[in-house]
Chain A
Amino acid sequence: MSVPASETSHRIGGGFLDPRMLGKSLPEAMRKLDPRAMVKNPVMFVVEIGSALTTWQAIAHPSVFAWVITVWLWLTVVFANLAEAVAEGRGKAQAATLRKAKTTTAARKLASWSPGNAGPETEVPGTDLQPGDFVVIEAGQVIPGDGDVVEGVASVDESAITGESAPVIRESGGDRSAVTGGTRALSDRIVVRITAKPGETFIDRMIGLVEGANRQKTPNELALSVLLASLTIVFLLAVVTLQPMATWAGAAQSLVVMIALLVALIPTTIGALLSAIGIAGMDRLVQRNVLAMSGRAVEAAGDINTLLLDKTGTITLGNRQASEFLPVRGVDASALADAAQLSSLADETPEGRSIVVLAKSAYGLRERHSGELGGAEFVPFTAQTRMSGVNLADGHQVRKGAGSAVRKWVRDSGGHPTDEVGSLVDAISAAGGTPLVVAEHVPGRPARTLGVIHLKDVVKDGIRERFAELRAMGIRTVMITGDNPLTAAAIAAEAGVDDFLAEATPEDKMARILAEQEGGKLVAMTGDGTNDAPALAQADVGVAMNTGTSAAKEAGNMVD
């Protein structure tokens, strides 16, 4: 998800420190001087103890040197805390933005729900909702908690969490059923089954992450801490054992000098900034709308060798769209476009709408409203007929659909489908598209095929360049799709992925990930469907789309 420029303004950006931020963070930095908090950072804890000891020495035996060292040491400790406090402060500012979205709302809870059979409604506070509860949301209302849509379709404004202003469609069933608490339904009425416990919703977790409250140390951070701690111990020993040696040499040093030497030796710079760096890293991710469930995943993401992508929604726009009208010989292209548009006027599928759009953009055909065609009878698509169309009042019939079904209809209506249609259909299939044959039957004449609509899976703009960048980084990309191998190969070539897995079942995806991992590779997987969940869980980094199902989001360790 990219963030539109206009939406980034309310987010807290990176960049230089500004003095106000420092001023605001100072009290917090002082609070962090509490030894119980400092002990989490062994290096700085040692410095703090050193500071306390030099302070005591400076008071007991005042000297300019002792006071200079004392002040300098305290500055070191406070600066380390300040760095952390500033990083946290940024996170808190972000969290405040998120909290606005999390205003407590009244939820309209249903006592029970089964398909088409809703129980009585009660008002409860949104925070009381438990997983398994059903709630009703109507246009204009805020969704009270995370869950899956079980009934209805609605457009939802998710800008509060994604920063994207365009509303998204959330519907029951399928891969776009998850809704997030704090977002707002803009239209229609949906019933949602709550899936998150109060306090553990997506927004809650996001707030926790940016505030650094439940930030876990990443493996590399842990390993670095181990190294820093061991160096600190070595230097501590070097300084402690120095005293008897120096005493023997007749050059016993004061405690202040010893502490100054120790602080100069131990790795204070990295030690001081380590946690601030960690917080800033998480912050960056959140700014890019990625929610990392664990630090481990963030680091693993840097080591990925193979990236498996679910085709729909990541490589392609997700809907097949009409890209071309291919008329048979003797038929004018605009006649075909006209017939195609007629047959699709009542077709509310994305494919149907794209035919109307293409007819308008390519042939300038004005979109007619169903009302203009008095007495027209629309024939909906069914799995049995495998075609849809319209019967106009004057007896003019138009059909579009799968090749074999439409040809059968032409023959039944007294026409003779030409062989040319067959070759057009094959060519489109070979190119990875879906062919829709269009035919018409004008009263008094034999039915005839007009041509073929090329429905194409549209590859996202710029995705090819993105894959080239990944390749340069040493990451292989593999497209996963349920399409047949022919279609998959064509899309893979267009998008520029390195490899593809066609007609993939959830088992195939798992097997592929396991095979890659067997060779020692780190595998990332993106997906949004419930059937992706096992693969997302198995992958070293599972990136679930925020638009995806709750199961997918639960299985992944990053949500985009």
Chain B
Amino acid sequence: MSDTWAGALQVAALIFLLAVSYRPLGDYLAHILTTRKHLRAEKALYKTIGVDPEADQTWGVYLRSVFAISAVGVLLLYLILRVQHHLMMALGMPKMQADLAYNTAASFVTNTNWQNYYGENTLGYLAQMIGLTVQNFVSAAVGIAVVATLIRGFTRNRTDRLGNFWVDLTRVLIRLMLPFSIVFALVLIAGGVTQSLGDHMTVVHTVNGDQSLYTAGTGSQEAIKLLGTNGGGVFDANSAHPFENPDGFTNLIEIYLLLVIGFALPRTFGRMVGSHKQGYTIVAVMAVIWLGSLAFSTFFEMHHHGLDLATGHAALEGKETRFGIPASALFMTGTTLTSTGAVNSTHDSYSPLGGGAAMVDIMLGEIAPGGTGSGLYGMLVLAIVTVFIAGLMVGRTPEYLGKKIRPAEMKYAALYILTTPAIVLIFAGIAMALPGETARMTNSGPHGFSEVLYAFTSMGNNNGSAFAGLGGDTTWFNTAGALAMLFGRFLPMVWVLALAGSLARQRPVPESSGTLKTASPLFAGMLLGTVLLVVGLTYFPALSLGPLAEGLH
């Protein structure tokens, strides 16, 4: 079977799996986020941490709760990384440098998982497990909690109460993330992913002598790395490493995991707002962007007029022969369109336009389907902008799901779409202006610039994938990157929660014949247009200096 056919079958199998999961997972998530019943374990937990699960919070209190757990998360992780040499199972690894520990802590708490270090020769097992993995769970659940609040903004009326962050967080962790991660960790381990607490494994190698291999609790970390759209691998090579991703089967499961929650959340949204069609409209836009990007990057990888003639014009450099080009492009599209950032190939080695597609995917703002929760709230904010533009053409005050889009709502939506590009462009611009930092690129010319632009695009959008090639472990890159990740994660959350608060205070507007139908192919088309236009115009000048300059040369 040729690579192309294998790739096509893998895409078909993936779409099938995602389609089958859409309804049950989406409905289950909606149930988790709306039910009044608490599990016994949850009640015990609420009692321990002193939370009244029945007390709903205003958006401000909700936001403070998000900040609180994230601040504690950053401090705790920083501390673990700084004292890891005193911990058990440290494997003799030294403590992490302060700036790198700060960057890594910010990275994992913001669901970015940008890694300026080599996992296998930097971290002990305990730091991986109680440090990184805990944040993988929490940061993913925080995203879902925030989008639940935005949806409640649409469904609740004349109230300032939007739910309880601690309840949302606990439920998503206990009822979704934990059980799913356990099941899929076992599936992955059965597929050959390593899982061990033992010291380095010694392998007798025929040519180069014995090798000492880092094994770690890879399976248990791998499942949540993808399910929670985190992307921080145990190994530096991430999902290209055979211990993380041994073969085509685990590759498919991993791609499925990183997409499944993102693609099921529109169903949750549709169920919570009482119209499945609204969910289908959103998921359709996500699917079109995903498929379009996949087709684009696969095409450019398969028809590369590069150096590697032996592979039949396909750009196989930097990709695993285990997966082949289509499955690598499939993984890349999934990982860059969600906020995962795991990689099973080196994006730096993609053809200029193929790699450019990965960058555009991230620039879209991680919305197709995006990170857990963050993808949907990004898409809903763009839907609000679309409704507003379309509504003005109709001549009525725009409304979405029975809520008016007034100056207050528009202010938060505008701030949302302004924030991430501002972070990306400012940091990338500064990096290019600093002679010392530009020297960190391993490539010259447009490709080198692409490395820097990609880095800040990835961090600002909380993706975490790297173009590689950039030696990012400098004090400046560590600090600037951490700031980009923290701003890129929490500023949009502020706008989203404020928006939710503003929406919930409104009284609902009944649908009338003059209301713009937001569950229709026409609206889906307009939303798609808005997404592409806003991104296209914002990043076009910068892209033209990087991937476009190189690819069209």
B422 touches A473 (CB 8 A): no
A239 touches B541 (CB 8 A): yes
The answer to whether B432 has its CB under 8 Å from any CB of chain A is yes
> Interface size bucket, A side?
35 or more
The distance from the CB of A117 to the nearest CB of chain B, in whole angstroms, is: 52
The answer to whether A235 has its CB under 8 Å from any CB of chain B is yes
CA A522 to CA B396, docked complex, whole Å: 12
- Of residues 403 through 436 on chain B, the ones whose CB sits less than 8 Å from some CB of chain A are 405-407, 409-411, 413-415, 417-418, 421-422, 425-426, 428-430, 432-433
A303 touches B510 (CB 8 A): no
B418 touches A241 (CB 8 A): no
B513 touches A473 (CB 8 A): yes
- Of residues 357 through 403 on chain B, the ones whose CB sits less than 8 Å from some CB of chain A are 385, 388-389, 392, 395-398, 402
Q: Which residues of A contact B445 (CB under 8 A)?
A: 249
The distance from the CB of B363 to the nearest CB of chain A, in whole angstroms, is: 11
CA A302 to CA B426, docked complex, whole Å: 42
Interface segment among A45-53, A219-227, A322-330, A443-451: the answer is: A219-227
Decide yes or no: A241 and B428 within 8 Å by CB, A249-B445, A520-B508, A520-B510 being known contacts. Answer: yes
The answer to whether A213 has its CB under 8 Å from any CB of chain B is no
Q: Which residues of B contact A521 (CB under 8 A)?
A: 509-510
Q: Which residues of B contact A261 (CB under 8 A)?
A: 541
The distance from the CB of B512 to the nearest CB of chain A, in whole angstroms, is: 4
The answer to whether A238 has its CB under 8 Å from any CB of chain B is yes
B542 touches A241 (CB 8 A): yes
The distance from the CB of B179 to the nearest CB of chain A, in whole angstroms, is: 40
A219 touches B539 (CB 8 A): no
The answer to whether B545 has its CB under 8 Å from any CB of chain A is yes
A223 touches B410 (CB 8 A): yes
B512 touches A305 (CB 8 A): yes
- Of residues 243 through 260 on chain A, the ones whose CB sits less than 8 Å from some CB of chain B are 243-249, 251
B428 touches A230 (CB 8 A): no
Decide yes or no: A238 and B510 within 8 Å by CB, A223-B388, A226-B411, A265-B537 being known contacts. Answer: no
A234 touches B429 (CB 8 A): no
Q: Which residues of B contact A305 (CB under 8 A)?
A: 510, 512
Q: Which residues of B contact A219 (CB under 8 A)?
A: 397, 406-407
The distance from the CB of B499 to the nearest CB of chain A, in whole angstroms, is: 13
Which of B157, B405, B438 sits near A223, CB closer than 8 Å?
Answer: B405
Q: Which residues of B contact A517 (CB under 8 A)?
A: 507
The distance from the CB of A250 to the nearest CB of chain B, in whole angstroms, is: 9
1/0 per position for B508-551, CB-CB distance to A under 8 A?
Answer: 11101110000000000000000000100111111001000100
CA A168 to CA B96, docked complex, whole Å: 89
A474 touches B545 (CB 8 A): no
A238 touches B405 (CB 8 A): no
Which of A220, A233, A237, A251 sits near B397, CB closer than 8 Å?
Answer: A220
Interface centre among B413, B534, B541 (most CB of A within 10 A): B541
The answer to whether B449 has its CB under 8 Å from any CB of chain A is yes
Interface centre among A223, A237, A246 (most CB of B within 10 A): A223
The answer to whether B446 has its CB under 8 Å from any CB of chain A is yes
Q: Which residues of A contact B513 (CB under 8 A)?
A: 472-474
A234 touches B417 (CB 8 A): yes
The answer to whether A116 has its CB under 8 Å from any CB of chain B is no
- Of residues 504 through 532 on chain A, the ones whose CB sits less than 8 Å from some CB of chain B are 517-522
The answer to whether A229 has its CB under 8 Å from any CB of chain B is yes
B429 touches A240 (CB 8 A): yes
CA A272 to CA B514, docked complex, whole Å: 28
Q: Which residues of B contact A244 (CB under 8 A)?
A: 429-430, 432-433
Decide yes or no: A230 and B429 within 8 Å by CB, A223-B405, A246-B545 being known contacts. Answer: no
The answer to whether B496 has its CB under 8 Å from any CB of chain A is no
A230 touches B415 (CB 8 A): yes
Q: Which residues of A contact B415 (CB under 8 A)?
A: 230
The answer to whether A299 has its CB under 8 Å from any CB of chain B is yes
CA A237 to CA B418, docked complex, whole Å: 10
The distance from the CB of B446 to the nearest CB of chain A, in whole angstroms, is: 6
The answer to whether A242 has its CB under 8 Å from any CB of chain B is yes
Which of A230, A249, A299, A474 sits near B446, CB closer than 8 Å?
Answer: A249
Q: Which residues of B contact A299 (CB under 8 A)?
A: 397
A245 touches B453 (CB 8 A): yes
CA A233 to CA B420, docked complex, whole Å: 12
Residue of chain B at shortest CB distance from A221: B407
Interface centre among A230, A240, A473 (most CB of B within 10 A): A230
Decide yes or no: A226 and B414 within 8 Å by CB, A237-B422, A302-B396, A302-B397 being known contacts. Answer: yes
Q: Which residues of A contact B539 (CB under 8 A)?
A: 238
Main secondary structure of the interface of A (DSSP, over half): helix
Which of A226, A233, A247, A520 sits near B432, CB closer than 8 Å?
Answer: A247
Q: Which residues of A contact B413 (CB under 8 A)?
A: 227
Q: Which residues of A contact B449 (CB under 8 A)?
A: 245, 248-249
Decide yes or no: A226 and B410 within 8 Å by CB, A242-B542, A249-B446, A520-B510 being known contacts. Answer: yes
CA A499 to CA B143, docked complex, whole Å: 48
A233 touches B542 (CB 8 A): no
Which of A223, A241, A265, A522 sits near B426, CB closer than 8 Å?
Answer: A241
Q: Which residues of A contact B446 (CB under 8 A)?
A: 249
Which of A233, A241, A473, A520 sits near B514, CB closer than 8 Å?
Answer: A473
The distance from the CB of B393 to the nearest CB of chain A, in whole angstroms, is: 11
Q: Which residues of A contact B398 (CB under 8 A)?
A: 220
CA A287 to CA B21, docked complex, whole Å: 59
Q: Which residues of B contact A240 (CB under 8 A)?
A: 429
The distance from the CB of B436 to the nearest CB of chain A, in whole angstroms, is: 13
The distance from the CB of A108 to the nearest CB of chain B, in whole angstroms, is: 48
Residue of chain A at shortest CB distance from B402: A520
Which of A220, A245, A474 sits near B428, CB closer than 8 Å?
Answer: A245
Decide yes or no: A245 and B542 within 8 Å by CB, A230-B414, A233-B422 being known contacts. Answer: yes
CA A226 to CA B396, docked complex, whole Å: 18
Which of B414, B432, B541 sits near A229, CB closer than 8 Å?
Answer: B414
CA A219 to CA B407, docked complex, whole Å: 6
Residue of chain A at shortest CB distance from B395: A302
CA A223 to CA B414, docked complex, whole Å: 9
Q: Which residues of A contact B418 (CB under 8 A)?
A: 230, 233-234
Interface centre among A220, A229, A472 (most CB of B within 10 A): A220
Q: Which residues of A contact B509 (CB under 8 A)?
A: 303, 520-522
Residue of chain A at shortest CB distance from B403: A520
Q: Which residues of B contact A519 (CB under 8 A)?
A: 510
B395 touches A242 (CB 8 A): no
Q: Which residues of A contact B512 (CB under 8 A)?
A: 305, 474
Q: Which residues of B contact A474 (CB under 8 A)?
A: 512-514
A222 touches B508 (CB 8 A): no
The distance from the CB of B177 to the nearest CB of chain A, in whole angstroms, is: 34
The distance from the CB of A278 to the nearest CB of chain B, in whole angstroms, is: 13
Residue of chain A at shortest CB distance from B549: A249
Interface centre among A243, A261, A520 (most CB of B within 10 A): A520
Residue of chain B at shortest CB distance from A217: B407
Q: Which residues of B contact A265 (CB under 8 A)?
A: 537, 541
B407 touches A241 (CB 8 A): no
Q: Which residues of A contact B392 (CB under 8 A)?
A: 220, 224
Decide yes or no: A227 and B388 within 8 Å by CB, A233-B422, A241-B429, A520-B402 being known contacts. Answer: yes
Decide yes or no: A234 and B545 within 8 Å by CB, A241-B429, A245-B449, A305-B512 being known contacts. Answer: no
Residue of chain B at shortest CB distance from A222: B407
Q: Which residues of B contact A522 (CB under 8 A)?
A: 509
Instruction: Report A's interface with B, CB cutoff 8 A.
Output: 219-220, 222-224, 226-227, 229-231, 233-235, 237-249, 251, 261, 265, 299-300, 302-303, 305, 472-474, 517-522
List 11 interface pairs A-B (beta carbons < 8 Å), by A numbering. A219-B397, A223-B409, A231-B414, A234-B417, A234-B422, A234-B538, A241-B426, A248-B438, A473-B513, A520-B509, A520-B510
Closest 7 CB pairs of A and B: A241-B429, A230-B414, A474-B513, A223-B410, A244-B433, A474-B512, A244-B432
**Beyond A223-B388, A517-B507: 14 further Cβ-contacts under 8 Å?**
A219-B407, A220-B398, A223-B411, A226-B411, A230-B417, A233-B422, A238-B538, A238-B542, A241-B428, A245-B428, A265-B541, A473-B514, A519-B510, A520-B510
